[in-house]
Amino acid sequence: MTEIATKPARKGPATPKGNNTLVIDVGGTHVKVLATGRRMPVKIPSGPGMTPRKMVAAVKKAAAQWKCSQISIGYPGPVLHGKPVTDPRNLGPGWVGFNFEKAFGHRVKLVNDAAMQAIGSYEGRRMLFLGFGTGLGSALIVDGVLQPLELAHLPYKNNRTYEDYIGLRGLKKGGKKKWRRHVADVVERLKTALEPDYVVIGGGNAKFLKELPDGAQLGNNENAFRGGFRLWQPAWSKL
């Protein structure tokens, strides 16, 4: 079953002329899909039973009437050289080693989902992207060079990690007030360590922040699609 998202995605310059891109943002709750020239993404329910094969079949069905020649995938886990390193915690098995190009029959670029949203949020100089959702997504872009990060599982307090405090588990366990304090503290620590010119905060739980930490700005979750389109532009062609 698919549903149309109610909020139009921001259109962005997608690909070299003549090519249409299909962007797939894989999440633990939904897989969101948007193509060049479309404004409304399609949302496909996901969850623990979602394997890559089921995802491909659902996307093909949802996008059957859309023309595309290349595909961008935002993947909720570590990615190395365009391939998943581990299976996602909140989805089914089989993602590592899966041949997405063969399954879709098109060229595919696969990056970490936070990295894809970071690319769509980037406005130059040195930017740190933090995505607050089920876990903590992170990426750093310096003068147009992307460095995906895995900050979520670094030690933070009481033998627990950043994700334990500012991911969904921390939000549910400590409540919004404590969660906001931890977010402010973590952002300040990461700013000190990584020295970004600005921080972009995204992810589904960003809406629970009453005010943003100093030097931070609120991103648009639809920037994941913009990032997927940008992946095929020359500036990002080596990813």
Q: Could you read off the pLDDT of 33-72 as tens digits, one per residue? A: 999 999 899 999 999 999 999 999 999 999 999 999 999 9
| In the block, residue with structure tokens 């979520």 | 152
Selection from 41, 72, 46 nearest residue 57 by Cα:
46
Q: How far is CA 178 from CA 175, 181, 206, 209, in A?
A: 6, 5, 14, 11
More confident residue, 121 or 236: 121
What pLDDT is attached to residue 8?
A: 41
What pLDDT is attached to residue 18?
A: 55
More confident residue, 194 or 214: 194
Cα–Cα distance for residue pair 74/160, rounded to 1 Å: 27
Q: Helix, strand, or coil here: 207?
A: helix
9-18, 98-107, 149-158, 173-182: segment of lowest average pLDDT: 9-18
More confident residue, 1 or 215: 215
Cβ 217 vs Cβ 198: under 8 Å: yes
Cα-only R_g, the chain: 17
Please check the confidence at residue 17 and state whether its pLDDT lies above 80. Answer: no
Query: What are 159's two structure tokens?
Result: 């033998």
Q: Encode burial over 135-164: b for 16+ CB neighbours within 10 A, e otherwise.
A: bbbbbbbeeeebebbebbeeebeeeebbbb
| In the block, residue with structure tokens 């915690």 | 89
- Please state the rounded mean pLDDT for residues 85-98: 94
Domain boundaries, the chain: 3-116+223-236, 123-218
Q: Could you read off the pLDDT of 176-212 as tens digits, one per residue? A: 999 999 999 999 999 999 999 999 999 889 999 999 9
Please determine whether the domains at 3-116+223-236 and 123-218 fall in the same fold group of CATH: yes
Q: Which residues pair with 138 in a beta bridge?
A: 130, 149
Average model confidence (pLDDT) across the chain: 90
Query: What are 126's two structure tokens?
Result: 């040195």
Which CATH code, of 3.30.420.40, 2.70.98.10, 3.20.20.220, 3.40.50.720, is assigned to 3-116+223-236?
Answer: 3.30.420.40
pTM of the model: 0.86
Which CATH code, of 3.60.15.10, 3.40.50.2300, 1.10.8.640, 3.30.420.40, is assigned to 123-218?
Answer: 3.30.420.40
